[in-house]
Amino acid sequence: MDRMKSASKNFDKLKEDIKEQNDFIKKGCERIKNYYNLPVEKREAETRLVKPPHEILLEKSVETIELGLYSKEDAKTEWPERESIGFNYILIGVGTEILLKAIFLKEQPDSFIKEINEGKNTCHAPGFGKCKKWLINFLREKISPTHCERVKDILKLIQLKRNNLAHLDFHKISNYTEDYQVANVLRFLFLYFFKENSSTIVKS
């Protein structure tokens, strides 16, 4: 009987924790909205953010993508030898999604905020698909059609590989030429949108 009561209390506590987490996420969305809607001089004081949300996302994307590109064991491995190692596309996929959010938020914060989906109990920032669609439309006026199509295809490839590994990790292939193109496109996105940070976020 005591065990049943204890289990019931733990279950109720878990429900409370989930609600608390959802409330916390909603506050995060509000902080994003407030940051970009406030005058520059009031942003830090009222949102308690010492740097723009897109820069925070950028740092997290770099950290996550680098984990996927360079493990401790193969950080110094030359490209020809990496074919048998392959990238960790779960990490690269997550890092790329964060990068897409950072770019979207940096370039068009108002549009990003409009895409935030707020429900009764939680809210969600635009995901990989919406951010990718926005980016490709944005780039169409900035770079050549061929280059834009390449970016689009590589982002689709990253998304496919991430999803495949998340569901069927035992069923995977490693392709050196694909990995090389993925690294180059990610490098392009970092340099194009965050040139001022390039010395610290892009490895030569």
Q: Region 192-198: what's the mean pLDDT?
A: 80
From the list 27, 61, 77, the residue with the least C-alpha distance to 47 is: 27
* pLDDT at 12 (0 to 100): 77
The per-residue pLDDT for 204 is 42
On the question of pLDDT at 80 being above 70, the answer is no
Mean pLDDT in residue range 126-155 = 96
pLDDT, tens digit (0-9, with 9 covering 90-100), for 14-67: 888 888 888 888 888 888 999 999 999 999 999 999 999 999 999 999 999 999
Q: What is the pTM of this model?
A: 0.82
When the pLDDT of each residue in the chain is averaged and rounded to a whole number, the result is 83
Q: Quickly count: other Cβ atoms within 10 Å of residue 23's Cβ.
A: 12
The answer to whether the CB of 133 falls within 8 A of the CB of 71 is: no
pLDDT at 195 over 60: yes
What is the torsional sign of CA 145, 61, 53, 131? Answer: positive
Cβ-contact 109, 116 below 8 angstroms: no
Cα Rg of the chain, angstroms: 20
